[in-house]
Amino acid sequence: MAVPNNHTPEELPQNFEQAYAELEDIVAQMESGQMPLETSLAAYARGSLLLQYCQNALAEVEQQVLILNERNQLTPFDQDVD
């Protein structure tokens, strides 16, 4: 079962922009209706992983903005701190 862009389904992108661009490519390929069923399933799995990655990246940035607003300075968000 081939995955678009030669990525394994579990391989994470290097950054948000890369993930978003790959996700857009997958959506365009799937919307074209030209993918075989097995390829579509692999693309869907990869797209789900990329979507989760993008959502997590955006949530982290949102948390940094909230911290910035509270302290009037931008500080890195550490997920492990309660």
Q: 48-66, pLDDT tens digit by residue?
A: 999 999 999 999 998 888 8
pLDDT < 70 positions in the chain = 1-9, 73-79, 81-82
| Lookup: tokens for 64 | 């940094």
Q: In whole angstroms, what is the distance from residue 34 CA to residue 56 CA?
A: 30
CATH of 4-71 among 1.10.287.1040, 3.40.50.620, 3.90.660.10, 3.40.50.300: 1.10.287.1040
> Residue 37: CA atoms inside 13 Å, Cβ hemisphere, count?
0
Give phi and psi for 24, each to the nearest 5.
-60, -40
Per-residue pLDDT, 18? 96
CB 68 within 8 A of CB 75: yes
- CA nearest to 25, candidates 37, 35, 15: 35
